[in-house]
């Protein structure tokens, strides 16, 4: 499956945990559900002009939700935690207060 780098990396993950990982030079992204580690590595290197050292992929499970009698489910998604080479930074995460 051939995906454009902009189709692989969908959005940065904004949470307290993801911002605490930035100190360890790790960045979290929401990625395409069918993208694999190699595609994620290539997409991040091409989009942000950095060198990726490692990629960890996590499938976030769907959560059941209720509103009164109505039952439903939040959709699941795929998250990638990308570790960069020492000295590399991604600018979109800079300036965020933790």
Q: What is the pLDDT of residues 35-81, one digit of tens each?
A: 999 999 999 999 999 999 999 999 999 999 999 999 999 999 999 99
Q: DSSP code of 75?
A: P
Query: What is the chain's percent helix, strand, coil content, to nearest 5?
Result: 30, 35, 35
Q: Which domain holds residue 78?
A: 5-87
Q: How confident is the model at residue 96 (pLDDT cuts 50, 70, 90)?
A: low
63 in a structural domain? yes
55 in a structural domain? yes
96 in a structural domain? no
Q: How many domains does the chain have?
A: 1
Model pLDDT for residues 24-35, shown as the tens digit of each residue: 999 999 999 999
29 in a structural domain? yes
Overall average pLDDT of the 9-36 stretch = 94
**Residue 83, domain CATH:** 3.30.70.330
What is the structure's pLDDT at 56? 98
Mention every residue, 6+ apart, whose C-beta is less than 8 A from residue 61: 76
């Amino acid at each position: 499956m051939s995906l454009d780098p902009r189709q692989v990396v969908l959005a940065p993950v904004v949470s307290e945990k993801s911002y605490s990982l930035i100190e360890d030079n790790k960045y979290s992204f929401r990625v395409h559900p069918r993208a694999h580690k190699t595609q994620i590595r290539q997409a991040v290197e091409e989009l942000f002009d950095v060198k990726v050292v490692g990629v960890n992929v996590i499938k976030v499970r769907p959560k059941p939700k209720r509103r009164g009698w109505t039952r439903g489910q939040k959709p699941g998604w795929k998250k990638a935690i990308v570790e960069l080479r020492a000295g590399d930074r991604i600018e979109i995460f800079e300036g965020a207060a933790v």
